[in-house]
Structure formats: C-alpha cells, structure tokens
Structure 1
Amino acid sequence: MVIYPAIDIRNGKCVRLLQGRAEDETVYADDPAEMARRWVGEGAQWLHVVDLDGAFEGAPRNTEALARICAASPVPVQTGGGLRTDTDLERVFAAGAARAVLGTRAAERPEDLAPLAARFGGDRLALGLDARDGKVRTRGWVGTCDADAPELARRAAEAGVGTLVYTDISRDGMMRGVNVDAMERMCRAVDCGVIASGGVSTADDVRALAALGCANLVGAIVGKALYEETVTLCGMRAAAGEP
C-alpha cells in the first residue's frame, strides 16, 4: 500500500479544509511546490494534488501550480478538482500529471468513462468517489447526486478506469480515524485499485486498512495529520509496508 501525501491548492496556496468546507481553511504553505519537495524528500512515491478552486468553480484554476509541482517532483502526481471536460484533462496531463481523478463528471455522466478510458488510458484515470452518509457528493462536495456509490464504482471499473479514490467526507480533516468498514465494502465491490481517503491520520489507521487483506487496496491519502505533524510520512510508509 502506497501513502499519498495530499497537497490541496486554493488561491495558489497549499491549504487544508475541514470536511471540505471552504470557510474552514488553514494555509500551510504559500508555494505548493515547496510541499511537494518536502514530501518527496521524505520518501513519497506518489503525490495527491487537489485543485480546490477547480472543484468549487467547475474548471481547473491552479494548473500553473500543478505544473510547478510536477516539475519539482521526480515521482508521479495524481490530481483532481474541476475536471469536467476533455480539455481539462488535456491541460492537467500537459502540466505533467500522471493520473487524473474524475468526480462530478463521472457521477453525473458515467457514460463518458469508457470513451475517456479508451482515449487517455484507464491507468491514467481514477474515479473520485466522495460520500457522506452514503450519498455521493459532487461539485466540490456541495452537491448531491442520486448515484449509488458501489454501482458507480463497478460501472467505472467495467469502463476501464484503473483506480478508485474513495473518500468518506465525514472523516476528512477530522483526524478521527478511517472508516475501515466502508473501505472494505468498496474494495469488495470492484476489481480495480482502491485508494482510501478521509480520516487516515495514524499508523494504526494504515495498519487497520492493511489488515483487511484486500489485494486491490493499493494506497491511502494522508493530509492533515502530516501537516499538523502528529505523524511522520516515514512512520506512515512503514505502517503501510512501503519499501
């Protein structure tokens, strides 16, 4: 299992939002590329970058910052936030992203997934499945759609999307632990790789995920705990069994 340090960008800065609420923002660095260099220096094998302005506004707004991160990082970068059109995908790939995370577009237009996987490659696409109380959230987590989370996950996998990023919004930024049961259900629902997100804040959380024994649970995203320095990336990587 790979630990993905999260770099959330808003107004060009590295920030964290509590449960995705725009009004609950903490700024951790003026230059997101600075954080990328830090996490790579501590052994990160992947980075997870979110364009929060893009998620709220419906189109990428921090592509230049993404390009600086990719240029500063010798490891692959996964990114999402406002990727609603093919042009948006082309822009983030041109900026250097290795994988793009589709959230709102996938939930509202799942029929787009197979053509996108055929065009860009399923290994370069991920379904970003964000849920609160069992409801799939969209448009920067301020919208709700009628999609059934496990069914949408299965449909994406069948369309050729190679990775699922599953976030329990109620746990995000709260540092209260990961929803292990929900992660297990999602892993059992699909054959593609699954990355756990939301509440992963201690080495015990990582060990609990690993203990599920799900071969397709390939990663976990860690954000606030790293920035608040209640854990270290080295310690989280060790708990995950990263080489």
Structure 2
Amino acid sequence: MLLLAVDTATPAVTVALHDGTSVVAQESQVDARRHGELLLPAVDRVLSAAGLKLDAVTGVVVGVGPGPYTGLRVGLVTAATFGSALGVPVHGLCSLDGLAYAAGLDGPFVVATDARRKEVYWARYDDARTRVTEPAVDRPAEIAERVAGLPVVGAGAVLYPEAFPDARGPEHQSAAALAALAAEKLAAGGSVESGAFLPPVPLYLRRPDAQVPKNYKVVTPK
C-alpha cells in the first residue's frame, strides 16, 4: 500500500505519503490564496523525499471539506486526476476528521475551522475517530452554548476565543493525519458503502461567493 493524501480545504496546502504502516514523507504550507500554485510542486517534493515515483501510488486520499469553494476544488480535482491517470481508487474523507484524528483526544470535543464571513465549519466528536454530528457552518456565537465546556480543535478556536475558550491543537490540517486515518479504515475493510469513506466530491455547505449578477442580460445571436 502506498497512499498519496492531499487536502486543500483549509489555508493549509498539505500532502503526505503513507505506506500502510507509517508516514513516509509529508509537507504542509499555510497560504489561503495559492492552493493551485502550491499543491503540485508539494506533491513532487514529497515523492522526491521518499525516493518514489507517482506510479508507485496505490490509492489517493483527499479531504472533501467542508471548505471554501476555490481552495477546496483544487485538491479534489488534483486527486481525481491522479486517480484516473494511475487507475487507482480515490478515497474521500471529511477534512474535519483529519484534524480530529491528529488531535488524538479521548473524550468529547469539537473541531472548528475558518469558514470566513465570521463563520466556522464545525463538527462534534466523541473521540479522535468518532464524529457524532454532520459538518455544519455557523457563527461562533450561535453554537457557543451548545459546545460550552468542550475543547475545540482548529483555527476556529484560535480566531474566536470568546466563543471557544478551550482551544487545542493542531490549528491546521495535516495530510499525514488524513492518510493515517485512511490507512486504518482501509486495513479494517472500510469503503464508501460501509460509511468509512465519502465520495470524492466537494462538501461546500454553502453557495460559492462568485455568482452571476442579478438582471444579467443574455445576448444571443440573431
């Protein structure tokens, strides 16, 4: 097994290789505006650091979000392209699950990432491997009472300490954690059908910022 994991659902452009036992190589850069520019060079560097070629990959793991429209689709399109070119499966995982897994907490907690517009993408967990709510997008003040007393992992906790006073690390996504979680699920026979993985399609939760202007005039040939 050699899994190539990528995630661009957050400001972190993150890539990792996992051989089914441990992480072979990884790289992360935090830059919310250059996902498309940074991802492929990062993949090349990770493969080079591991001394491997792309054709050694047996599966692709991708964070499906939630995340902002533009950044999120960079990772998903890249993962789909690699899967098609190599003829290997593409395994989707909720990006929040990667942060939860990396946190390694045993009791209930929350993961919250920056959704912009003064909102967070969030979900609640019973432990590092068990998400108990569907991902959602809300203003921090609207959910503060519901998550009161729980540790909150991710950039959302750092950005809104008044709503999430018990902030925990990690702040940013790691493809290494996403890959390790995927490797565990695959070893246990996990699949999309069993609910272990998600289809590799974007989980946006809201409409993209770019929209057709109102009263847009369509010009057709006479």
TM-score by length of 1: 0.26
TM-score normalised per structure 2: 0.28
Q: Of the two structures, which has the highest relative contact order with CA contacts closer than 8 Å and spacing of 6 or more? A: 2
Larger Rg: 2
